[in-house]
């Protein structure tokens, strides 16, 4: 059952996310580095806010005057102009980024909204104990990183472990695969094609992690070698193919433009390779992908 009211932005009464406010911050901005100053600014914004006021006051710099505390305990950080704070009235027109504010939703929030309620609850435990500042940080909130592996993997793991509660620490102890330094978005396509309910136990093996990293790197190297540059091709994000595959092309193979037919041929090549890995991995005992010293890639 989907539950639109349980969002990644406001998961409970202990914390909220404000990472995209205002939506003009430079990439890599980390508000945790300025926590004390930001706390003071949030308190000042909250105290200065007058809900009856209707004047337009543009945002200046990387801070928004309408970002403040939205609960009496000063735990939840949110937009003071949002309809939920103003009896249904949307006052976000009062800043000059109103349209951007209204449509802003990060990739992780979108993916999270596609999960069933029980799956959302399962994964939210990874963020237990975080306050709004840590929760809004991509550095300290592992949940965001986990969500980038995509709905298939989130569903498969939560279904087989639905009776457990994992904090980030206990989750990584059971599933050391996810300690990988590989970018989830760049590799979600490979992992989601490779891992199904019957072989999800592989994710409990750090040996599988090393194997996967090796396979991903060698596949990327091979494809890059055969790649013909297509400066007149379609920008990759506009191709009508699986979103995870387009991320793989862009973020893992560094392909910016490609024509549709070439992209489909590359996809077939990648799919074929993953299928070979899957068959080879099926013959390996759980938790021992490389213990014999034999790499799957040699067989594929
Ligand atoms: S107006 Fe609201 S949504 Fe827009 S940046 Fe400010 S706090 Fe965020
Ligand atoms: S960064 Fe994502 S999760 Fe955080 S407030 Fe913005 S849309 Fe919500």
DSSP secondary structure string, 81-96?
TSGGGTTT---GGGST
pTM for the model: 0.89
Three state DSSP letters for 196-213: CHHHHHHHHCHHHHHHHH
**Which of 84, 93, 96, 101, when mutated, tests ligand 1's pocket best, judged by the most ligand atoms within 8 Å of its CB?**
101
Strand partners, 269: none
- Which ligand neighbours the alpha carbon of 100 most closely? 1
Last residue of one domain, picked from the residues 151, 174, 197: 174
pLDDT of residue 283: 66
Q: Is residue 18 included in any domain, yes or no?
A: no
Q: Is 172 helix (H, G, I), strand (E, B) or coil?
A: helix
Q: Which domain holds residue 261?
A: 182-300
Q: Are residues 190 and 299 in the same domain?
A: yes
Last residue of one domain, picked from the residues 76, 104, 132: 104
Q: Is residue 60 included in any domain, yes or no?
A: yes
Last residue of one domain, picked from the residues 174, 191, 217: 174
What is the number of domains present in the chain?
3
Q: Is residue 26 included in any domain, yes or no?
A: no
CA pair distance 242, 121, nearest whole angstrom: 27
Q: Are residues 159 and 250 in the same domain?
A: no
Q: Are residues 230 and 139 in the same domain?
A: no
pLDDT of residue 171: 96
pLDDT of residue 105: 87
Q: Are residues 218 and 287 in the same domain?
A: yes
Q: Is residue 270 included in any domain, yes or no?
A: yes
Q: Are residues 196 and 144 in the same domain?
A: no
* pLDDT tens digits, one per residue of 100-153: 888 878 999 999 999 999 999 999 999 999 999 999 998 999 999 999 999 999
pLDDT surpassing 90 at residue 233: no
Q: What is the mean pLDDT of the chain?
A: 89
Q: Is residue 9 included in any domain, yes or no?
A: no
Q: Is residue 41 included in any domain, yes or no?
A: yes
Helix boundaries (H) for the chain = 35-48, 98-103, 107-113, 117-124, 132-135, 142-147, 151-160, 168-174, 184-194, 206-226, 243-247, 260-282, 296-299
Rg (CA), the chain: 22
Q: Are residues 137 and 193 in the same domain?
A: no
- Which ligand neighbours the alpha carbon of 78 most closely? 1
**Which of 25, 42, 64, when mutated, tests ligand 1's pocket best, judged by the most ligand atoms within 8 Å of its CB?**
64
pLDDT of residue 284: 60
pLDDT of residue 1: 55
Q: What is the Å distance from ligand 2's center to 280 Cα? A: 40
Asked if 236 contacts 246 with a C-beta cutoff of 8 angstroms, the reply is: yes
Residue nearest (by alpha carbon) to ligand 1 atom 8: 21
pLDDT surpassing 80 at residue 226: no
Report which ligand 2 atom has the smallest distance to the Cα of 16: 5
Q: Is residue 300 included in any domain, yes or no?
A: yes
Q: Are residues 297 and 198 in the same domain?
A: yes
Q: Are residues 211 and 159 in the same domain?
A: no
Q: Which two tokens stand for residue 249?
A: 């092309």
pLDDT surpassing 70 at residue 3: no
**Which of 22, 41, 59, when mutated, tests ligand 1's pocket best, judged by the most ligand atoms within 8 Å of its CB?**
22
* pLDDT tens digits, one per residue of 145-173: 999 999 999 999 998 877 889 999 999 99
Instruction: Report the run of H or E that residue 67 belongs to, with start and end.
Output: strand 67-69
Q: Is residue 6 included in any domain, yes or no?
A: no
Report which ligand 2 atom has the smallest distance to the Cα of 112: 3
pLDDT of residue 109: 96
């Amino acid at each position: 059952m989907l539950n639109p009211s349980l969002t990644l932005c406001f998961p409970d009464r202990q914390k909220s996310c404000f990472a995209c406010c205002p939506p003009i911050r430079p990439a890599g901005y980390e508000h945790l580095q300025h926590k004390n100053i930001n706390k003071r600014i949030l308190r000042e914004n909250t105290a200065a806010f007058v809900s009856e006021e209707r004047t337009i006051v543009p945002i200046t710099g990387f801070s928004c005057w309408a970002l403040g505390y939205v609960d009496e305990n000063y735990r939840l950080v949110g937009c003071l102009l949002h309809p939920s704070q103003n009896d249904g009235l949307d006052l976000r027109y009062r800043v000059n980024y109103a349209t951007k504010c209204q449509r802003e939703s990060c990739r992780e929030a979108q993916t999270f909204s596609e999960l069933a309620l029980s799956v959302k609850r399962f994964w939210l435990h990874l963020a237990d104990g975080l306050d709004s500042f840590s929760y809004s940080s991509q550095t300290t909130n592992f949940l965001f990183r986990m969500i980038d592996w995509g709905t298939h993997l989130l569903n498969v793991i939560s279904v087989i472990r639905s009776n457990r509660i994992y904090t980030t620490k206990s989750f990584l102890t059971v599933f050391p695969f996810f300690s990988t330094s590989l970018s989830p978005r760049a590799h979600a396509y490979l992992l989601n094609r490779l891992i199904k309910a019957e072989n999800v136990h592989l994710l409990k093996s750090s040996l599988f992690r090393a194997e996967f990293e090796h396979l991903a790197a060698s596949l990327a190297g091979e494809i890059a070698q055969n790649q013909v540059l297509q400066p007149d091709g379609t920008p990759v994000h506009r191709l009508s193919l699986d979103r995870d595959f387009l991320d793989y092309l862009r973020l893992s193979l560094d392909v910016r433009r490609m024509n549709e037919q070439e992209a489909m041929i590359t996809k077939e090549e990648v799919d074929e390779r993953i299928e070979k890995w899957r068959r080879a991995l099926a013959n390996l005992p759980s938790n021992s992908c490389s213990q014999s010293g034999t790499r799957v890639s040699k067989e594929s």
